[in-house]
Every structure is written in structure tokens, then in C-alpha cells.
Structure 1
Amino acid sequence: MEPMIRVNQVEKTFEAGSRQVQVLKGVRLELYARQWIIIRGRSGSGKTTLLNLIGGLDIPTQGEVYFQEELISMWNDLQRTKLRKQKIGFIFQSFALMPLLSAWENVELSLRMSGTPRVEWKHRVQHCLELVGLNKRMHHRPFELSGGEQQRVAIAKAIAHKPLLLLADEPTAELDSLMGAQIMRVFREIIAEENVTLCMTTHDPTLMEVADHVYEMVDGQFSSDKEL
């Protein structure tokens, strides 16, 4: 089986005033369909930068990033934007919801932006919100929902356009342990139901047991070529 994502000797350097800061240092990684991958590490270790490169939000200074054997790190902004709209979903720790829209409208907005035919919206929005356990809270706005419920709306929004890859950056960082555990159960159900690959970052050691593979990132590189 070919990997869905292949990261090959990726380096990333940023300008910081008059000096350069190397954030990633020769990272290699492969992600396969329907896997749950966790990249853990302290703040500043480079895990979020790697997630951005995998999702086509940025390009590496050196090395290659492949999505289904397509060299996306050589694509232009328009090509990578199209890829994200069609095949990648993003989840952030800050939820990234429109505050004046209901849960239903937030998920519907995702479908509108991805170009999904309007005739499919109603069924897909309802399915996604039911999948994350919000069938009774569909028409509430974010300020009427708990933190865990808001994150579940964000997950429903991220999977609405049927992506192949789901990228989650510290998705439980703003939640207590109970709500965090609920989100982990939702992720497992989504992988099984939607046949999606999940790659998430975290520094929470309590989440390690739920993933198929865990990689430790230290100072811009994995501590070992093998997962933990």
C-alpha cells in the first residue's frame, strides 16, 4: 500500500530579524489510509510547522511533501488551496467557528466553501453533527455551547466535505480531561465511519494510548526513526 502522505527529509527555516531559525531538521514521515497518528512534543518543537507543511499551508525550505504520490511541496498556492478544499480538513485548538452562526450554519458554510452541490448540504450537515453527538444542539450558536461541544462542531465542520486527511493541532488543549476524552472517542468513530486518516499534534501524555502510532518531536526532528 502506498502512503497517503510522504514527508522526505523536510527542513524549514524562518527569518527572525537578521538571523535564520531552523524549525525542522530533516524530518521523514509516512501516513497511511485510516491511521491515527499523533505527533507529540513541547511548544516550539516544530510539530505545528510540520502539520502546516503536510496540509499545504506552507512549503518546506528543503525536502519534499507528497500527497497520494503528488509532489505538493512544488505546487503553487492555488493548487494547494484546491487540494485543501477537496481532500483535507483542519481542526484547531481555538475551534475557529463563526460566532454568529449556529452549529448547523457553521458546518453548512464549510460545504459552501468546498463547492459541494447544494442539494447535498442538508443530509451531509445533519449526518456530520449526529456523528459527533450534537443532534440536539444543531441550532445553537457557539456561545450557547460548552468548549467540548464547540470542538465537536469544529470536527463536524472539518469532515463535512469528506476529506481523506484530517489534521488537528492540539484539539484538546482548551478542554478539561473529561471533554478531551469525549473528543478522542469522537475521533475514533469518525475514522471508522468516514474512512479518514487523522494526524494530530499534542503534548498531552494521556492521549498516547488511543493512536495507532506516536512520534516524538524534539528540536525540529523526531527523537527516533521509529514511533513510540
Structure 2
Amino acid sequence: MGWRRNRKTAAESEAIEVHTQAQEAAATAVDPAKPLLVVEGVERTFQTGGQPLHVLKGIHMELLPRQLVMLRGRSGSGKTTLLNMIGGLDQPSKGTIFFHGMPFHDMSDDQRTKVRRKEIGFIFQAYALMPLLSAYENVELSLRMAGVPGGEWKARVEHCLELVGLAKRMHHRPFELSGGEQQRVAIAKSIAHRPSLLLADEPTAELDSQMAAQIMSVFQTIIRTEQVTICMTTHDPTILEVADHVYEMVDGKFI
């Protein structure tokens, strides 16, 4: 009798947990038709030698939830500058940027930093890993910096590294990993704090075509499982076919 009662209690607890998870999922559901980020009429001008250098010239774009968007263009076309604008690392000289409805273009540095810490992940071409830390410790560090409670670290780090196919290599340091594996660690690190937007600057530039294809496969997996939007820059025509949308940049404008 006691065994049946315990079994019932366990079943009830499981049902409550499932119901709670469903409620949380519903609460955080995102309207796929509503833009995550909107860029309107953005211009960026730098002063060089007393002369204005117009890098961005009236950019209009939208990022929809759970999409892979690519900014394609040659070096110097303005795509990295635009990525910095989207990520709040720089502000436009003119125009507006709304992220989750918030006026990114009108925020202070501190306000943008707080948004980035919670909502945006970055992947850099040079991986940006701490050389003396293992893959596990590199991902854990990102959770520390984001202020995630310590009790969540272990499960989240292991999940992210398993997601990118490095479950068996998590205790290796960067110099013990291939370029493709280091990029996967960088991806795991960038998604650990559960951002809604992931920005990647030429993430496949240092990789051969096979490794590049694997990284794009990882991107597609995390879009599906982590419910994240990815915006990346590239000049590699071989990976464009996996994108939901491609913006072609020439001389600071979309064509």
C-alpha cells in the first residue's frame, strides 16, 4: 500500500513538473512573425584625418526569431560594423535599432552592456578562448560573467558542450583541440547563458570546407534546440544555401 502511495506521489510530482515546464515554455514563447530586431535607416560615419568616412549608408533590416541570417560581402563592405551595431558594441550616427522593442540606439553604454550580458552571445573569428582553461572551464566562465547561479553551471556547461559534439573533449585545453573543435567551444560558450540573439563574425573563415559545413550544422541544431536567432558575417559562397535570409553588402549598402 505504501509502495503504491509512493508511486502515485512520484507520478504526481512528475506531472506537476511537466505542467510547470509547459507553463514556462508558453510564457517564453516567441511570435515567429514578430521581429526580434529592427534596423531602420542606420548610418555610421567615422572621422579619419578630418574627413568623414561613410561606412554604413542607410541600412534597413529585420531579424526574425529562430532564423539564420547572413551578411555577405567583401572585406571593407561594412558588414562587421553593422554586426557591432546590432550587438550594441557601437551606436549609429543616424537611424534606429530596436531589440526586443528596446531602443538600442538610444541607450547608455551601461544599459547596452546589461542587455548584452543577458540576451546576446558573440562568436569571434579568432575563437577568443582562455588558453589555460579547459573547454569546460571556458564555458563555465561565461556563466560566471553572466551572473548565472552556481548551482546551474555543471548541467548547463555539459549540455552546451554535448550540443556541439564535444562531450568527450570537454576537459581538453584549446591547444589540444583542432580549429573546428575550438570554434565549437566558442559556440558553446556563446549560448551558455541562453541568449535570444547570437552574433558571429566570419565564424568559418579559418576553417576548411568540411569543418565549415560542420559548424553550419551545429548552428542549425542550436537554432532548433535553443530557440536562438543567429546573424553572421561571411564571404564564403559555399555556406549561403543553409541561410534563411542573406543580405548582400556592397560599399555600406544592401543590394
Common fold by TM > 0.5: yes
Q: Which runs of 5+ in 2 are unaligned?
A: 1-32
Q: Which runs of 4+ in 1 moved over 4 A?
A: none
- Does 1:138 find its partner at 2:187? no
Q: Determine the structure 1 residue equivalent to 2:151.
A: 119
The SS at the match of 2:153 is: helix
If you compute each CA radius of gyration, which structure gives the higher value, 1 or 2? 2
**Alignment root-mean-square deviation, CA:** 0.5
Q: Deviations over 1:99-154 (max 9, x none)?
A: 01000000000000000000000000000000000001000000000000000000
Structure 1 residue 2, shift from structure 2 partner: 2.3
Aligned positions of 1:72-83 closer than 5 A: 72-83=104-115
Q: Determine the structure 2 residue equivalent to 1:226.
A: none
Aligned positions of 1:169-188 closer than 5 A: 169-188=201-220
* TM-score, normalised with respect to structure 1: 0.97
Report the identity percentage. Answer: 68
Q: Determine the structure 2 residue equivalent to 1:61.
A: 93
Q: Deviations over 1:67-89 (max 9, x none)?
A: 01111110000000000100000
Q: Determine the structure 2 residue equivalent to 1:196.
A: 228
Amino acid in the other structure paired with 1:94: A
Amino acid in the other structure paired with 2:246: V
Structure 1 residue 195, shift from structure 2 partner: 0.3
Q: Determine the structure 1 residue equivalent to 2:239.
A: 207
Query: Normalized per residue, which structure has more helix?
Result: 2
Q: Determine the structure 1 residue equivalent to 2:26.
A: none
Q: Deviations over 1:56-75 (max 9, x none)?
A: 00000000010011111100
Structure 1 residue 20, shift from structure 2 partner: 1.2
Q: Determine the structure 1 residue equivalent to 2:49.
A: 17
Q: Determine the structure 2 residue equivalent to 1:158.
A: 190
The SS at the match of 1:24 is: strand
* TM-score, normalised with respect to structure 2: 0.87
The SS at the match of 2:189 is: helix
| Aligned length, in residue pairs | 223
Q: Which runs of 5+ in 1 are unaligned?
A: 224-228
Q: Distance in 2 between matches of 1:16 and 1:140?
A: 44
